[in-house]
Amino acid sequence: GQQVMQIPQYQHVQEGEDFTTYCNSSTTLSNIQWYKQRPGGHPVFLIQLVKSGEVKKQKRLTFQFGEAKKNSSLHITATQTTDVGTYFCAGSAVKTSYDKVIFGPGTSLSVIP
Amino acid sequence: SQTIHQWPATLVQPVGSPLSLECTVEGTSNPNLYWYRQAAGRGLQLLFYSVGIGQISSEVPQNLSASRPQDRQFILSSKKLLLSDSGFYLCAWKGGPGEQFFGPGTRLTVL
């Protein structure tokens, strides 16, 4: 079945450094979403990418969808302590009526002040 | 605006006891609803989804069940909990394309 992998599993950075997490799917995706989960909280939707090669930006966050629609990345420029949390990618392989998505295991980001 | 409620927030239950977790959504009608489980330090595993009242589909075999007695109510149940049922249970509804909104979750510990 479809699998979604993320690397690294953990990342510790000094405040102000950049951070990147990578997401890879075993199958071609119709779309990919990114979520952030703060410690003790619930996942919060950040963005969805649909088009091959798509790049979207949200302030210091840059999201990219690969040309083959099998991988994606999230890059944070100049991390801040508010960026702490676990970042999940989630992908849909095929369109279904219930929008089934497969979540990656997440990358846990720690920011050292 | 839409909001999603879950209760209880935390729960400690002995092995073999029953379980009932409730999720309600406000501000939307006929939403697609989902139950996920998140083990400590892990990703989210889809357990059940529902596209309407009385319509439940299960993603993985387990000793859990789900019901949707009303349009905006989704219930997760078990007759006898196992140790492996411990985790963070999240209810979600489908917003825009690909977008899911999660409730605050229930942290279940089975002892």
Task: Lowest mean pLDDT of A19-28, B64-73, B94-103, name the range.
Answer: B94-103
Interface check for B44 against chain A (CB to CB < 8 A): the answer is yes
- The predicted model gives A82-94 an average pLDDT of 91
**Is A33–B42 a contact, with Cβ atoms under 8 angstroms apart?**
no
Contacts of A104 in chain B (CB under 8 A): 43
What is the nearest CA distance from B96 to chain A, expressed in angstroms? Answer: 10
Give yes or no for a contact between A43 and A34, defined as CB atoms under 8 angstroms apart.
Answer: no
pLDDT, position A87: 98
Residue contacts between A and B (CB atoms, under 8 Å): 59
| Structure confidence by residue, pLDDT tens digits, A17-57 | 999 999 999 999 989 999 999 999 999 999 999 999 999 99
Nearest CA in chain B to A87: B43
CB contact under 8 A, A44 and B102: yes
Q: Say if strands A71-76 and A19-25 run parallel, antiparallel, or are unpaired.
A: antiparallel
Average pLDDT of the residues in A2-9: 91
Residues of B whose CB is below 8 A from A33: 98-100
pLDDT for residue A94: 66
Residue A97 has pLDDT above 60, yes or no: no
Interface membership of A95 toward B (CB under 8 Å): no
Q: Which of A59, A38, A35 has its CA nearest to residue A47?
A: A35
Q: Where does the pLDDT of residue B105 fall: very low under 50, low under 70, confident under 90, or very high at 90 and above?
A: very high
Within an 8 Å CB–CB cutoff, is residue A108 touching chain B? yes
- State residue A95's pLDDT score: 63
pLDDT in tens, B23-43: 999 988 888 999 999 987 778
In this prediction, residue A98 carries a pLDDT of 60
User: Which residues does chain B have within 8 Å of residue A31's beta carbon, measured at their own beta carbons?
Assistant: 97-98
- Where residue B71 falls (left for φ over 0; alpha for ψ -120 to 50; beta otherwise) is alpha
Which string of DSSP letters, residue by residue, matches A32-47? Answer: EEEEEE-TTS--EEEE
